């Protein structure tokens, strides 16, 4: 007898993957230029030049053990120190190398953190709309998912709803800003309000409630928008960072966990992270890419390319009559379906070769996600189809 839960997970791909696979098949049938694939969050902007230069330099000059050998389970000390120094320079958070644990990207950061924090049956609150894999990660850590519904239209956190969802079983809360799928950046006021509620509830229940900051999109913000650093607002914070989107390296699987040194019993939290990484069999994050990260601290992708895509798409779609919140970051547009059933709308869009993701599984019904991390020309080519789709509903 196989593990039924795993069999079910493996048999049914996430909806994003399903649509992404369909797009590949459809592109082979009718030509890639005729399929408007907006399904997956695969960065379209090139990694910074520094990355390729660092790889070449390392491959030519570093020892094979540094490049390809195991590192310490928590990651190479020099790499962790470089990251800690960067966090301190940017946010003054007072972390050191021993608060940093290198991971294979945000997914690993989250699965490890959840495994480290949750005992069976404990609850983890997620703010809708949320990245669908949270459910998989929380349930795999034997936790229970509790969904907090957002403010209508703005998709900021509804702090009253959030407070009402906290129970004595609440152990963790995941906050993702800039948000996948809405692109919303939570305001500093919202964050202060959330943290005040958490402080109050920790006191009331007499145990810590951890805030997990899921931050793969931290660097992808437009204009002068800033993303508050949660450690500076709430002591029991664990940051789950990833270079997948920030440096356009999703296939390299590299990121880290930063445990706030001010967290209650921070040393034990860090040790539980190490234990969870061990129990999940991660061994260590990729050695070559740990060194690449160390040697390219401060490198950035050109966020203006995403901003230009956002502007073209947002301006055109709102002109055609679609409703959506203007995203301040990430590379997604969260659009209200033109009928109540997002799946039916998805099918209609699909008949025009527009592939978007219906978002019921993200915890908000009646919306679709458009991943605009694509070549600008694909967006321009898709606009007549979006317009025709809107006209069908008039």
Residue 131 or 346 with smaller CB distance to ligand PLP: 131
242 touches ligand PLP (CB under 6 A)? yes
Residue 44 or 202 with smaller CB distance to ligand PLP: 44
- Minimum CB separation of residue 218 from ligand PLP in Å reads 11
Residue 17 or 278 with smaller CB distance to ligand PLP: 17
DSSP string, 50-80: HHHHHHHHHHHHS-HHHHHS---TT--HHHH
176 touches ligand PLP (CB under 6 A)? yes
Query: Per CB under 6 A, which of residues 331..370 are in contact with ligand PLP?
Result: none
Choosing from 38, 131, 334, 386, the residue that interacts with ligand PLP (CB under 6 A) is: 131
Identify which of 275, 349, 231, 323 has the alpha carbon closest to the alpha carbon of residue 101: 275
102 touches ligand PLP (CB under 6 A)? no
Cβ atoms of 342 and 386 closer than 8 Å: no
Angle at 310 between CA 309 and CA 313, to 5 degrees: 85
- Minimum CB separation of residue 105 from ligand PLP in Å reads 3
Residue 221 or 338 with smaller CB distance to ligand PLP: 221
180 touches ligand PLP (CB under 6 A)? yes
User: Which range in 65-73, 90-98, 100-108, 380-388 contacts ligand PLP by CB under 6 A?
Assistant: 100-108
255 touches ligand PLP (CB under 6 A)? yes
Residue 55 or 249 with smaller CB distance to ligand PLP: 249
Containing 241, the helix (H) or strand (E) segment is strand 237-242
Task: Produce one character per residue of 50-72: b if its CB has 16 or more CB atoms within 10 Å, e if not.
Answer: bbeebbeebeeeeeeebbeeebe
What the block records as the tokens of 332 is: 């997604």
- Minimum CB separation of residue 199 from ligand PLP in Å reads 25
214 touches ligand PLP (CB under 6 A)? yes
106 touches ligand PLP (CB under 6 A)? yes
Rg (alpha carbons) of the chain, rounded to whole number: 21
- Minimum CB separation of residue 390 from ligand PLP in Å reads 27
Distance between CA atoms of 386 and 228, rounded to whole angstroms? Answer: 35
148 touches ligand PLP (CB under 6 A)? no
Beta bridge mates, 329:
221
- Minimum CB separation of residue 393 from ligand PLP in Å reads 29
User: Which range in 67-75, 101-109, 153-161, 292-300 contacts ligand PLP by CB under 6 A?
Assistant: 101-109
Residue 41 or 47 with smaller CB distance to ligand PLP: 41
Quickly count: other Cβ atoms within 10 Å of residue 142's Cβ. Answer: 13
**210 dihedral zone (left: phi>0; alpha: psi -120 to 50; beta):** beta
216 touches ligand PLP (CB under 6 A)? yes
Distance between CA atoms of 341 and 345, rounded to whole angstroms? Answer: 6
Look up tokens 């779609």; give the residue: 317
- In the chain, what are the helix, strand and coil shares in percent, each to the nearest 5? 45, 15, 40
107 touches ligand PLP (CB under 6 A)? yes
**Helix (H), strand (E), coil (C) string for 265-311:** CHHHHHHHHHHHHHHCCCCCCCHHHHHHHHHCCCCCCCHHHHHHHHH
277 touches ligand PLP (CB under 6 A)? no
- x/- binding map, residues 290-329, to ligand PLP, per CB under 6 A? ----------------------------------------
Binding-site residue total for ligand PLP (CB under 6 A)? 13
Residue 250 or 261 with smaller CB distance to ligand PLP: 250
Residues 6+ apart with CB under 8 A from 65: none
183 touches ligand PLP (CB under 6 A)? no
250 touches ligand PLP (CB under 6 A)? yes
- The site for ligand PLP (CB under 6 A) is made up of 41, 105-107, 131, 176, 180, 214, 216, 242, 244, 250, 255
């Amino acid at each position: 007898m196989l593990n039924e839960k795993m069999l079910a997970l493996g048999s049914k791909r996430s909806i994003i993957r399903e649509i992404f696979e369909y797009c590949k098949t459809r592109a082979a049938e009718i030509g890639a230029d005729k399929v408007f694939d907006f399904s997956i969050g695969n960065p379209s902007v090139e990694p910074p030049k520094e990355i390729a230069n660092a790889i070449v330099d390392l491959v030519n000059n570093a020892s094979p053990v540094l490049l390809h050998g195991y590192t310490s389970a928590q990651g190479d000390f020099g790499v962790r120190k470089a990251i800690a120094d960067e966090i301190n320079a940017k946010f003054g958070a007072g972390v050191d190398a021993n608060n940093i644990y290198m991971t294979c990207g945000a997914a690993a950061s989250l699965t490890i953190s959840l495994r480290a924090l949750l005992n069976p049956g404990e609850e983890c609150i997620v703010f809708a709309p949320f990245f669908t894999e949270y459910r998989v990660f929380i349930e795999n850590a034997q936790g229970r998912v509790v969904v907090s519904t957002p403010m209508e239209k703005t998709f900021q956190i509804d702090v009253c709803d959030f407070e009402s969802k906290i129970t004595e079983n609440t152990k963790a809360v995941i906050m993702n800003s800039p948000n996948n799928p809405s692109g919303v950046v939570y305001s500093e006021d919202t964050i202060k309000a959330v943290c005040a509620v958490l402080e109050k509830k920790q006191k009331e229940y007499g145990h810590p409630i951890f805030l997990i900051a899921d931050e793969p999109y931290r660097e992808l913000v437009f204009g002068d928008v800033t993303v508050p650093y949660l450690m500076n607002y709430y002591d029991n914070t664990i940051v789950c960072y990833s270079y997948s989107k920030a440096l356009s390296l999703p296939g390299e699987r590299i990121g880290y966990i930063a445990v706030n040194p001010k967290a209650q019993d921070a040393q034990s939290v860090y040790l539980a992270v190490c234990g969870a990484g061990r129990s999940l069999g991660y061994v260590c994050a990729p050695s070559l890419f740990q060194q690449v990260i160390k040697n390219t601290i401060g490198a950035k992708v050109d966020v203006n390319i995403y901003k230009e895509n956002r502007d073209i798409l947002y301006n055109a779609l709102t002109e055609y009559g679609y409703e959506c919140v203007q995203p301040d970051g990430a590379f997604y547009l969260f659009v209200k379906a033109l009928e109540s059933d997002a799946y039916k709308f998805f099918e209609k869009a699909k008949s025009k070769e527009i592939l978007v993701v219906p978002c019921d599984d993200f915890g908000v019904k009646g919306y679709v996600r458009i991943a605009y991390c694509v070549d600008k020309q694909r967006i321009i080519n898709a606009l007549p189809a979006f317009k025709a789709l809107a006209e069908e509903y008039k």
